[in-house]
Chains A and B, each alone.
Chain A
Amino acid sequence: MRLLALRREIPILVPMVILIGIGWVMVFSTAAVIGVESGHVAVFAHLRRQVLATAIGALGLYVALRLPLTALEALAPRLLAVASALMLVVFVPGVGRSVARATRWISLGPVSFQPVELFKVAVVLMYARLLCAERLRAAWPLRTWGALAALAVLSLLLPILQRDFGSAVLMLALAVGLLWLGGARWSALAAFGGVALAAAVVAFASAPYRLHRLQLYLAGFGHGGGAGYQTQQSLIALGSGGLRGVGLGESVQKLLFLPSAHADFIFAIIGEELGLIGALAVVGLYGLLLREGLSIAQASVMRFARLLASGLTILIFLQAVWHIAVSLVLVPTKGLALPFVSYGGSSLIASMTAIGLILRCADDGVVSPAPVTWVPVNQPGDRAWTPS
């Protein structure tokens, strides 16, 4: 057990812990207002929940670190099935909970969570499992493509059902990234992209308000003026922060000017309170996570581990970049949490567990009971392949 030999863990755990710390501070800074506004003077309510979620996330991280990768690979389909089922459970009356037209929550008494966070991790696991059996640049059999396409459709459809378009876009980007990393040919990737584009066109054509929103977004880009209220407020928050920020806790935009300042726009408040310096520090921490995650992926022996580690790293990084890009009005507004920082237990627990899995991948060769196989493609007993 190399759990205590932290040479590899530290470079990825330290940025994560710092980000979680920033998250605690910023969640308190932004959500205290919401707590007070809720009627009861619940200044610490959000922070308390976030700390509790961190504790559960740490547990998840530890458990993920102890899981055998082979078992994880074997269990991926069942995990996905459970996650997909939970994604549908939100529509069961009495269990599911809607917040502002979007039904995303499972509520069981005092506990409520967003199954989409679990779903994202399960999808990455499934992609890794499907792709690790295939050779790079080879013509993959139809069966694989069928499975991949089914997975892609599932991963897009379920979030869309929940009106969670942010997660859907994320899943699409993840699919493209992982397919490419898994070794899909350019032509296959292009075909995949074409289908996705067609689907997007259909989606926009079917719902005019989406087109309107896109137009709104395009109109506001570059100026930040005349755009939607949220984007304008986000730009004001960031822009008024300047180089050094207005000071920790001094944000005014969080006083209900910026909706959902503790979750979907927490980066804008970081930019306002801590300025360009603080915002760049946060971006840099995600950069560090990305670098360490991918370097673990590169150093892993098992192809499944490599794909899983890179997939989870991309998942976390993409969410972070998307959240930041939304604040910067680089992309249209889609509610996505900033991993480790935004208020939200489900996201925090899922992200910490993902970090645990990434670290688990770093250890694959050591703890794996099987003899080391450096061979990047087929395992003994795998399906035969035809060299091109």
Chain B
Amino acid sequence: MLSPHTPPPRRDPLARLAGGLAWFRRRRASPRFAPGRDARASATTAAWVPPVAALTRPAASAPSAPKSSTRGIRFDWPRRTAAAVTAAARRRFAGWTAGAPAWLGRLEELLPAIPAPASAGAAAPGARPSIAVGLADAEEERGRLRMLYRVALAGIAVVVVRLATIQVIWYPKYSGLAKRQHVAAYKLPASRGAILDRNGRPLAVSQEGAAVYLIPRYFFGGKDPARPKLTRLCALLGRSVAAVRTEAARKAFVWLKRPATPAEVERVRLLCASDRIQGVGWEPLCLRMYPEGRTASQLLGCTNDEGHGLEGLEYGYDKYLHRGGGTMPVLKDSRGRLIFTGGGPSDEVTGMSSLTLTIDLGVQHAAERELEQGMVRAGAKWGCAIVMVPSTGEILALANTPRFFPDAFQSVSAEVRANHAVSHMFEPGSTFKLVALASALQENLVREEEVFDCERGAFVLGDQVLHDVEPYGRLTLAEMVAYSSNIGFAKVGLRLGASRLLAKAREFGFGEVTRVGLPGEERGMLRKPAEKFDIAAMSFGQGLAVTPIQIASAYGAVANGGVLMRPFVVREVRDTKGRVRVEGRPERVRQVVSATVARRLAALLTGVVDYGTGQAAAIRGVRVAGKTGTAQKSNSKGYLPEGEKLVTFVGFLPAEAPRFLVLVTMDRPRWGTAGGVVGPVFREIAQAALRLYSVPAAPGALASLTEGEQAPRTP
């Protein structure tokens, strides 16, 4: 049954919101000064109510005030009820009365109990002030306190705004100023990165050192009281006092020790501090050390005291190796003392990169040892050996003899320091016959079994006569190569013609730098032969100039299936952060001859070692392809007398699948032929390489080993 009445009014959301707003407004009306203190105030007041109520209105609120409290707590209920009711009322009407502080709240309770005064001014002097006056005072005091609070808040606001201005808006300016006065640039002493071989063994490293100097006027003035000090100083650094004194007598500045190790400098510093020695100082020096001594000295080069490279790789890669004049940002305090907080040099500091070479220290040692011994045996002036990987162009060893100590480079002449492998130009002689041979085979102008008349050692060409070292009659092409007949090759050359010969020479890389990456590399000299004689001379390697590295890379092309590779020494340049800055990769230059022709050439060259001029280079169990070469030395006036010659042997092995190419050159051996002088050296170096890379002698196992050459050898 439905009620006829309207349902009880539901409070619509809007009304509830309005109610909530009203409540919120009342809350806001409560003193901003102590929001949230209402409950606490009322609680405090509640505790207060009984005594106050008892004092002021005993009858009104507690009609049945306990006559005696002996009956116990239950007769206390009227007072407790009154207190509870008052507290509840205060809670209920908190919003209305909250405008007053807690202590004022009690006044409100008092109001009805005490009759209002007739007039505030009418109070007699000495009487208690009226409630109205008291209330007004209280209101005034509360207002002043609140105003004080507002003033303080305004102060806080000013502080906050100023703080935010300084720390946020002016941040860029002040952080810049801070940086300017906090950050100092610490000058790093010059230093150099290390040079390592392909397996990471150090060839050149740097250490911070110093040069200790002495200013004589501190020591040798007046009646010489500093003599014991100087004696101690000299004893510390291992100098003789007399030597220092004679030097100091002439100069105003004397190097006491240069270079000195950091430990020595520290000892000097302590001595100077304890003995109060003045006039002694030191400056940082970059000490370059070569742990392998004289090994690869011409290749590595040398440096000066400022840490700059002067020759060799040190010079060529100075940009990466050298670090000098670099600065590192460090903190400093107000007295300018530097604070190293542990950070390393910043990224701006370049240099100090380490160089990893393709050189294998084992092969290098072997090459230098054999070359040196061979040189002594032959009484040659200098020698040079190159070991290369034909398939990639990597140079495993680059030896020059005589060697020198790179850290004492001043004691040897510039000629000794020269890296002959790249900088020495010479007339190649028979090794250059490769060009004519390759060209003729490629053009199908000759066949291996074709027979040439070698004119019994004298071949009249125009108004000039060509000679062979030994007279030969009729020789096949293979024999011609093996015995190295000049006359035979003159005929081949003439058959080819000047332009084809020259073009093939250029294709093999002659007359152009190989870009091996070493400073001082020469291009050689290649001219188009004008006359028939010149063509003939060029075909057996006269009338032009080449460098050993050109010869090596040209033979490398034959060993590499006709593809000329760029030879290279630097495997990678890595900076201090470990990033690779430069990477040496096998680089194919061009196909010089077809693979078939390359194979035929290799086969022809094995004849040289098997039964020809290079038999001394033969290795048991491994087929070697190679070529001897003897060049008459010349200067600007013409050929030098007999004996002034340069002998070369270049070859690769195993001939079927070459893994190493070795070139050995010696200057002015006192006796013997090319094969006899450098052939054994070639053999020893090649055998050492085979041993070090564990290439077995059995021909059947060779094919599978051609791969994996790029991987560094594991020691």
Contacts and interface: CB of A to CB of B under 8 A. Distances in A.
A21 interface: no
Q: When A and B form their complex, which 5 residue pairs have the shortest distance between CB atoms, in order from nearest? A: A239-B174, A240-B178, A255-B333, A256-B334, A276-B167
Given A242-B168, A276-B163, A321-B159, A376 B177 contact: no
Interface stretch (B102-110, B248-256, B381-389, B655-663): B102-110
A291 interface: yes
B125 interface: yes
Interface stretch (A79-87, A99-107, A190-198, A297-305): A297-305
Interface string A115-135: 000000000000000000001
Contacts of B120: 387
A299 B174 contact: no
A275 B152 contact: no
A238 B174 contact: yes
Interface of B: 33-34, 37, 40-41, 44, 48, 51-52, 101-103, 106-107, 110, 120-121, 123, 125-126, 128-129, 133-134, 137-138, 140-142, 144-145, 148-149, 152-153, 155-156, 158-160, 162-164, 166-168, 170-171, 173-175, 177-179, 181-182, 331, 333-335, 339
B141 A136 contact: yes
A9 B128 CA distance: 34
Contact of B167 (A135, A183, A224, A275): A275
A376 B141 contact: yes
Interface string A227-239: 0000000011111
Interface string A361-386: 00001000000101111101000111
Contacts of A271: 163, 166-167
A125 B711 CA distance: 90
Given A224-B170, A271-B163, A375 B129 contact: yes
B159 A252 contact: no
Given A238-B163, A238-B166, A252-B331, A294 B140 contact: no
Contact of B174 (A236, A306, A325, A384): A236
Interface in A269-326: 271, 275-276, 279-280, 283, 286-287, 290-291, 294-295, 297-301, 306, 310, 314, 317, 321, 324-325
Interface string A133-152: 00111000000000000000
Contacts of A374: 103, 106-107, 110, 134
28 contacts: A7-B40, A137-B137, A181-B145, A183-B144, A236-B177, A239-B174, A239-B177, A252-B178, A252-B331, A252-B333, A256-B333, A256-B334, A257-B333, A283-B163, A286-B156, A294-B148, A298-B34, A299-B37, A301-B103, A314-B148, A321-B152, A372-B48, A374-B107, A376-B134, A376-B138, A384-B125, A384-B126, A387-B121
Contacts of A236: 174, 177-178, 181
A277 B486 CA distance: 92
B159 A310 contact: no
Contacts of B153: 287
A357 interface: no
Contact of A283 (B134, B148, B159): B159
Nearest to A301: B103
A328 interface: yes
A238 B168 CA distance: 10
A237 B160 CA distance: 16
A147 B327 CA distance: 69
A283 to B, nearest CB: 6
Contacts of A314: 148, 152
B141 A386 contact: no
B182 A252 contact: yes
A224 B166 CA distance: 9
Give the dominant DSSP class at B's interface: helix
From A240, A253, A384, A386, name the one whose CB has the most chain B CB atoms within 10 angstroms. Answer: A240
Contact of A325 (B125, B145, B159): B159
Nearest to B121: A387
Given A236-B181, A239-B178, A298-B34, A310 B167 contact: no
A294 B177 contact: no
A72 interface: no
B145 A376 contact: no
Given A136-B144, A290-B149, 5 more contacts: A137-B137, A240-B178, A310-B148, A372-B48, A375-B129
Nearest to B183: A252
Given A239-B166, A252-B182, A276-B164, A321 B148 contact: no
Contact of B171 (A239, A290, A310): A239
A309 to B, nearest CB: 10
Contacts of A257: 181-182, 333-334
A255 B334 contact: yes
Interface residues of A, number: 62
Contacts of B339: 255
Interface of A: 7-8, 135-137, 177, 180-181, 183, 224, 235-243, 252-253, 255-257, 271, 275-276, 279-280, 283, 286-287, 290-291, 294-295, 297-301, 306, 310, 314, 317, 321, 324-325, 328, 330, 365, 372, 374-378, 380, 384-387
Nearest to A294: B149
A306 B123 CA distance: 26
A328 B163 contact: yes
A183 B152 CA distance: 18
Contact of A294 (B33, B125, B159): B33
A271 B163 CA distance: 9
From B155, B175, B331, name the one whose CB has the most chain A CB atoms within 10 angstroms. Answer: B155
A377 B137 contact: yes
Contact of B158 (A137, A242, A310, A330): A330
A263 B271 CA distance: 42
A240 B175 contact: yes
A203 B575 CA distance: 67
B33 A295 contact: yes
B178 A298 contact: no
A359 to B, nearest CB: 15
From B33, B52, B106, B144, name the one whose CB has the most chain A CB atoms within 10 angstroms. Answer: B144
Given A181-B144, A299-B41, A377 B174 contact: no
Contacts of B103: 298-301, 374
Contacts of B182: 252, 257
Contacts of B162: 328, 330
Nearest to A244: B167
Given A181-B144, A256-B334, A328-B166, A378 B177 contact: no
B167 A243 contact: yes
A152 B125 CA distance: 30
B133 A387 contact: yes
A372 B56 CA distance: 12
A256 B335 contact: yes
Nearest to B335: A256
Given A294-B145, A295-B34, A239 B41 contact: no
B51 A372 contact: yes
A310 B181 CA distance: 44
From B121, B153, B166, name the one whose CB has the most chain A CB atoms within 10 angstroms. Answer: B166
Contacts of A310: 145, 148
A212 B441 CA distance: 101
A248 B638 CA distance: 82
A253 B339 CA distance: 13
Contacts of A253: 178
Nearest to B133: A387
Nearest to B177: A236
Contacts of B331: 252, 255
A104 B574 CA distance: 64
Given A181-B144, A372-B52, A243 B168 contact: yes
From B40, B121, B177, name the one whose CB has the most chain A CB atoms within 10 angstroms. Answer: B177
B47 to A, nearest CB: 9
Contacts of B128: 375, 378, 380
Contacts of A283: 156, 159-160, 163
A177 B163 contact: no
Contacts of B167: 238-239, 241-243, 271, 275-276, 279
